[in-house]
């Protein structure tokens, strides 16, 4: 464990503090769903205090490889992915001192985030009633795997299990007999995003009522919440959607197509685009098999063969240029190193450089939101970011802050 001192978040100019500047978020979560929610709040300018178990800290500090840094103090890149813009304090929540410190933090926080199994906080003495006795204005975000009630609420929730249980894997893969998980922990990430969204809504309501409330979501709810048109295919049309690879089930042509020495993606989402596409590549756009989108979906195998025959003599770069000239939405499949080297990604502020106490200067994928003041045409997005903290890096300074806050009270 590093002994490097790590200070609390730097003072950020008001014009670049983010919309949650002045709010304090108490992050009791671990792994990914909750930490991602907390990081989102930090990206928006909130002060996020991460409470971790002594000695081991967040589970993801040990999730690897890859690890980076010195052999005697390795840092997990998994942890680095979801804990920027936070401070860390280590507390034993079963001890008297840990509970007292947590109580003081609760009194001074606007939002508390937790993703314990149902009932754990109550057993520690911090059920909802106890939390609101300490701070009636506290917004409580609680994330579970399968939900807080119902016959299977007791089950532990891990991302891949929920991708399967909530139907996402049945929609993903080359075909019905090839279920695949999404390449990132999408159930965790979505539940964190929904959780942060819910916490922000509860903060807005608190402005009217003066009272905090409980926001609940789960990995199960998050996946069901993004079933989108596949969900209504099931609930309304009575169909059972299945995986069908890299082509859209309801729009054609829309997907990944082979060409000479590579592949490209196209999205022909309207009849006007279809006629332009057909004209550009010598296809008969009005032939009965392809006349409407429904016809093209029905005759997808024939359509795919004719398009790939038309693409066969084009290199990817030349094909993308021709598609662009015809006004057809298209793109290539990039590897992550290509994504992070892309000037468009840099232009959108999607990379941030931070100074880590062990690793030095590192580059992290950045926040996806930007904010602008239309009156001044100035960007008000948070611009000063901090690296994910080493364990208990801020314990001393947080306790000092709590003492100073206590002394300042009348």
The CA distance from 42 to 49, in Å, is 9
- Give residue 406's pLDDT: 75
- Give residue 4's pLDDT: 36
The CA distance from 366 to 169, in Å, is 28
- Give residue 377's pLDDT: 85
- 135 pLDDT band, cuts 50/70/90, is very high
State yes or no: pLDDT of 15 exceeds 50: no
State yes or no: pLDDT of 16 exceeds 70: no
Interval 120-131 mean pLDDT: 95
Asked if 399 and 393 touch (Cβ cutoff 8 Å), the reply is no
- Give residue 119's pLDDT: 87
State yes or no: pLDDT of 10 exceeds 80: no
Summarize pLDDT for 66-105 with one digit per residue, the tens. 999 999 999 999 999 999 999 999 999 999 999 999 999 9
Asked if 296 and 247 touch (Cβ cutoff 8 Å), the reply is no
Q: In 13-134, at which residue ranges do the beta strands (DSSP E only) sit?
A: 24-27, 47-52, 67-68, 75-76, 87-90, 111-114
8-state DSSP, 7: P
Catalytic residues: 188
State yes or no: pLDDT of 320 exceeds 50: yes
Asked if 154 and 167 touch (Cβ cutoff 8 Å), the reply is no
- 5 pLDDT band, cuts 50/70/90, is very low
- 410 pLDDT band, cuts 50/70/90, is low
φ, ψ of residue 242 in degrees (nearest 5): -135, 160
- Give residue 378's pLDDT: 86
8-state DSSP, 220: H
The CA distance from 324 to 318, in Å, is 10
pTM: predicted TM-score of the whole model, two decimal places: 0.90
- Give residue 301's pLDDT: 95
Interval 269-282 mean pLDDT: 97
- Per the prediction, the chain carries an average pLDDT of 93
8-state DSSP, 59: G
43 is written with which tokens?
A: 């990206």
Q: Is 236 strand, coil or helix?
A: coil
The CA distance from 59 to 37, in Å, is 16
The CA distance from 48 to 23, in Å, is 9
Domains of the chain: 14-226+349-408 (3.40.50.10540), 254-333 (3.30.1540.10)
The CA distance from 147 to 301, in Å, is 41
Summarize pLDDT for 69-79 with one digit per residue, the tens. 999 999 999 99
The CA distance from 3 to 6, in Å, is 9
Largest pairwise CA distance in the chain: 82
């Amino acid at each position: 464990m590093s002994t490097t001192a790590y200070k609390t978040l730097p003072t950020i100019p008001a014009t670049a503090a983010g919309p949650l500047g002045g709010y304090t978020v108490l992050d009791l979560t671990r792994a990914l769903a909750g930490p991602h929610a907390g990081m989102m709040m930090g990206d928006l300018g909130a002060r996020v205090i991460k409470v971790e178990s002594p000695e081991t800290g967040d589970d993801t500090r040990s999730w690897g490889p890859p690890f980076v840094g010195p052999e005697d103090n390795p840092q997990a890149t998994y942890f680095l992915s979801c804990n920027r813009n936070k401070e860390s304090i280590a507390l034993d929540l079963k001890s008297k001192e840990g509970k007292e410190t947590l109580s003081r933090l609760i009194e001074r926080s606007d939002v508390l985030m937790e993703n314990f199994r149902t009932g754990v906080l109550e057993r520690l003495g911090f059920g909802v009633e106890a939390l609101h006795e300490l701070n009636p204005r506290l917004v409580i975000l609680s994330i579970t795997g399968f939900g807080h009630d119902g016959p299977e609420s007791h089950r532990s929730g891990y991302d891949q299990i929920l991708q399967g249980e909530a139907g996402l894997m049945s929609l993903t893969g080359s075909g019905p007999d090839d279920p695949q998980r999404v390449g990132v922990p999408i159930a965790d990430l979505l539940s964190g995003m929904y959780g942060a969204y819910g916490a922000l809504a509860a903060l807005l309501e608190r402005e009217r009522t003066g009272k905090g409330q409980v926001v609940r979501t789960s990995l199960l709810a998050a996946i069901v919440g993004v079933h989108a048109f596949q969900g209504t295919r099931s609930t309304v049309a009575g169909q059972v959607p299945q995986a069908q690879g890299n082509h859209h089930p309801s729009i054609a042509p829309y997907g990944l197509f082979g060409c000479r020495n590579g592949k490209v993606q196209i999205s022909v989402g309207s009849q006007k685009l279809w006629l332009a596409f057909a004209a550009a590549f010598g296809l008969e756009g009005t032939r009965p098999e392809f006349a409407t989108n429904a016809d093209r979906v029905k005759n997808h195998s024939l359509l795919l063969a004719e398009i790939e025959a038309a693409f066969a003599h084009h290199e990817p770069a030349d094909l993308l240029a021709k598609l662009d000239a015809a006004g057809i939405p298209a793109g290539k499949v990039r590897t992550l190193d290509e994504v992070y080297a892309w000037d468009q990604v840099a232009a959108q502020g999607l990379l941030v450089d931070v100074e880590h106490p062990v690793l030095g200067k590192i580059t992290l994928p950045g926040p996806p939101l930007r904010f602008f003041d239309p009156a001044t045409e100035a960007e008000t997005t948070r611009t000063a970011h901090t690296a994910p903290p080493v364990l208990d890096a801020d314990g001393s300074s947080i306790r000092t802050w709590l003492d100073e806050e206590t002394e300042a009270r009348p």
